[in-house]
Amino acid sequence: MEYFKDKVVYQIYLKSFKDSNQDGIGDLRGIIEKLDYLEVLGVDYLWITPFFVSPQNDNGYDIADYLNIDPRFGTMEDLDELIAETDKRGMGLMLDMVFNHTSTHHAWFQRALAGDSEYMDYYIFKDGRSDRLPTNWESKFGGPAWKYAGHLKKWYLHLFHVEQADLNWDNPKVREELKKIIRFWKEKGVRGFRFDVVNLISKPEVFADDNCGDGRRFYTDGHRVHEYLKELVRDTGIEEMITVGEMSSTTVENCIRYSNPEEQELSMCFNFHHLKVDYRNGDKWELMKPDLMALKKLYIKWQIEMQEHNGWNALFLCNHDQPRAISRFGNDGEYWKESAKMLAVSIFLQRGTPYIYQGEELGMTNAYFSDIEQYRDVESRNYYKILLEKGKSKAEAIQTLAARSRDNGRTPMQWNEEMFAGFSKHMPWIPVPDNYQKINAMEEEKDPDSILNFYKQLIQFRKSRKALREGNIAFLYEEHPDVLGYVRYCDGNEIIVLCNLRKKCVELKEAFEHCKYVLGNYEKVEIGVEGLRLREYECVVLEKRIGAIH
C-alpha cells in the first residue's frame, strides 16, 4: 500500500488549462493535446477539477449530474480517450468528488423542492419561519448558510453557494448513491480520487448558534466523519487507489486518522493552515505580509506530528482556490526565477506527496486585475460587496481581491507568446495576465535554466532517492528567522535542504563538510570548511552518503 509515496500529482483546472475547440473554455480534448508536455514534466497522476454536468455557479463544484460530462468540457468518448492516452504514458487520472453538497439543479434537490419527503431527507432542511434563520452560521462565500424555500416553509443548509445544498450523510440512502458514483468512475478506469471539503460531511445532531465563530466548529471533522469515510472506501473497494481529502480548518489529530493506512480511510490530506499565515487575525480579507516564522512552525508541526503517527501529507502551495505562491511568499519581480525555484524546493522535498498546480511549474503569478469586471469567482464578487458595505473604498477592495481572490490561480495556462497565451484563439472566459509573453511554457522549454526545467530535475531527483520518497524528516535551524532547513534520511543517505525565505543574504556557520551539492537555484555552490552563505531566496540541496544510495 505504499503506492503513492513516490508519486507526483499535477492539478489541472480544466476550465483554464487548454481550449481545443476555440470557445474560450478549457476542455478534455485540450488535456489530451498537452499530455506529452505533462509526460515530459514527469508527473504521475493528473487530478482534474470537476467536469460533470453543472450550472457552473462555482465552476463545476456545483454538480447537477455526477455521471455525465458537461458538454462544454467534452463527451464521454473524450474522457475514454483521455484515460487511454494517460494510461499509455504511465500516468493516471484522479477525479474530483464533490460529495459534501450537490447543485440545487441536481434531480435529487429538485424532487426535494417539489415536496418529495424521501428526497428532502437527502439534504438538510429545517422547519421555520422566513424571518428566523435556524442558526447564525455563515456561508464560506459570505452571507448566511441557510436559504428559505418559501413554499415548503423550510430552510436548507448551504455551507457554500446558495445553489450548493449540503447533503445529509446521516441518511444511508445518500451514502449508497455516492458509492454508486465512485464505482461508476472506477470502472471507467480512473485511478484515484480527490474528495472536496470531505471533512465537512458529518453534521451535528443538534444545530445551535455559534457565539464565537461562523459555525464551522459544529460541522468540521464532525462526529461521524471517520466512520463515513471508512464505509465509503470499504464499500467501493478504493483502498488501493490514491485518494486525497481536502480538509477545511482541520486538526493534525484528525488528519492522522484520515491518512494513517491502518485506518483505511484516505491516502493523504490537504490542510490549509500554512496558507493562512498572511491573514490578519485569521481573516482572509484583511491583508498582512506573510509571517514566515509562522509558516515554518506550521511545516514543522504538521511534518513531525504526521510522521510520528504515520500520517501522510499532500504537499502543496498552490491550487485553484489560492493566490499564486510566487506572488505571495516569493518575489514575482526581480527574483522571480530564484524565488519560484526556492519555493518549489521548500515544499517538494518534505515528507509527503507533492502536488503541482498548473502554471506553478512556469512561475505563473497573480493576475493583478484592476477592475471588478475582470473577476469571475462568486466568492470574490460577494466579498467585493461585503468589503464595500464594511466601509472600504473601491480601491481598497480591489487591492484586497488582487491579493486574495481565487481567480489569481484560475487565469488561463500560459502556453506561448501568441494571443491569449496560446490557451485559445477565442477570448478566454477569464482574462490572461499581462506577463504571458515572458512567462510561458514555450519560452521555458527553450531555456535550460528555466523554472520549468528546474521542476523536471526536482521531480526526477525526488524519485531517485528513497530518503525523499519514504525517509524521515528532521528540521534544522528551527528558530532561524530566515532559513527553512530540513534533512530527509533513510538507510545512511541524507538529503539536506536549506532555503533562504527572504530577499537578503544569510550566513550559516555550519560548513556541511562531506556533503555533495546536488541542486540549487543559483550557480553551483562550493561546499567547503568555511560555512555557507545563502543569497537572496537561495536554496541548496546537499547530499551525504554513508551507505549505498537507493
Tell me the closest approach of the beta carbon of residue 61 to ligand GLC, in angstroms: 3
Number of H helices, E strands in the chain: 17, 24
Tell me the closest approach of the beta carbon of residue 432 to Ca ion, in angstroms: 15
Q: Which three cell numbers stand for residue 502?
A: 527572504
Question: For 428, which DSSP code?
Answer: P
- Told to judge if 196 belongs to the known catalytic residues of this protein, a careful annotator would answer yes
Q: Which of 246, 407, 444, 494 is catalytic?
A: 246
Q: Which does 515 bind (CB under 5 to 8 A by kind): ligand GLC, Ca ion, none?
A: none
Binding mask 20-49 for Ca ion (x = CB under 5 A): -x-x-x-x----------------------
Q: Which of 19, 70, 96, 196 is catalytic?
A: 196
* Single residue of 52, 123, 160, 336 touching ligand GLC by CB under 6 A: 160
* Alpha helices (H) along 2-116: 28-33, 35-41, 76-88, 107-113
Q: Which does 98 bind (CB under 5 to 8 A by kind): Ca ion, ligand GLC, none?
A: ligand GLC
Task: Give the span between the Cα atoms of 10 and 192, in whole angstroms.
Answer: 13
Quick check: 138 binds ligand GLC (CB under 6 A)? no
**Total length of the chain:** 550
Q: Which does 58 bind (CB under 5 to 8 A by kind): ligand GLC, Ca ion, none?
A: ligand GLC
Q: Which does 321 bind (CB under 5 to 8 A by kind): ligand GLC, Ca ion, none?
A: ligand GLC
**Which residue is it, cell 502551495?**
317
Quick check: 58 binds ligand GLC (CB under 6 A)? yes
Query: Which residue's Cβ lies closest to Ca ion?
Result: 27
Question: For 150, which DSSP code?
Answer: G
Classify the C-alpha dihedral 100-102-107-110 as positive or negative: positive
Q: Can you name the residues that pair with 193 across neighbouring β-strands?
A: 95, 243
Contact 363, 453 (CB under 8 A): no
Q: Which does 61 bind (CB under 5 to 8 A by kind): ligand GLC, Ca ion, none?
A: ligand GLC
Task: Give the span between the Cα atoms of 102 and 97, in whole angstroms.
Answer: 11
Tell me the closest approach of the beta carbon of residue 69 to Ca ion, in angstroms: 13
* Nearer to ligand GLC (CB atom), residue 247 or residue 439: 247
- Told to judge if 246 belongs to the known catalytic residues of this protein, a careful annotator would answer yes
Question: For 343, which DSSP code?
Answer: H
**Number of Cβ atoms within 10 Å of the Cβ of 395:** 9
Give backbone dihedrals phi and psi of 337, rounded to 5 degrees, phi first. -65, -45
Q: Which three cell numbers stand for residue 14?
A: 480544466
Return the beta strands (E) in 247-363 as ranges: 268-270, 279-280, 283-287, 314-315, 353-357
* Nearer to Ca ion (CB atom), residue 139 or residue 411: 411
Task: Give the span between the Cα atoms of 289 and 356, in whole angstroms.
Answer: 24
* Nearer to ligand GLC (CB atom), residue 66 or residue 420: 66
Contact 508, 527 (CB under 8 A): no
Binding mask 183-212 for ligand GLC (x = CB under 6 A): -------------xx---------------
Residues 240-259 that bind ligand GLC (CB under 6 A): 246
Tell me the closest approach of the beta carbon of residue 194 to ligand GLC, in angstroms: 9
Quick check: 19 binds Ca ion (CB under 5 A)? yes
Q: Which does 160 bind (CB under 5 to 8 A by kind): Ca ion, ligand GLC, none?
A: ligand GLC
Query: Which residue's Cβ lies closest to ligand GLC?
Result: 61
Task: Give the span between the Cα atoms of 125 and 68, in whole angstroms.
Answer: 27
Q: Which of 167, 149, 150 is nearest to 158 (CA)?
A: 167
Contact 108, 119 (CB under 8 A): yes
Torsion, CA 217, CA 223, CA 225, CA 228, rounded to 10: -150
Q: Which three cell numbers stand for residue 76?
A: 464521454
Give the interface size with ligand GLC as a residue count (CB under 6 A): 9
Tell me the closest approach of the beta carbon of residue 220 to ligand GLC, in angstroms: 13
* Nearer to ligand GLC (CB atom), residue 58 or residue 482: 58
Quick check: 321 binds ligand GLC (CB under 6 A)? yes
Tell me the closest approach of the beta carbon of residue 336 to Ca ion, in angstroms: 30
- The contact set with ligand GLC (CB under 6 A) reads 58, 61, 98, 160, 196-197, 246, 320-321
- The contact set with Ca ion (CB under 5 A) reads 19, 21, 23, 25, 27
Active-site residue list: 196, 246
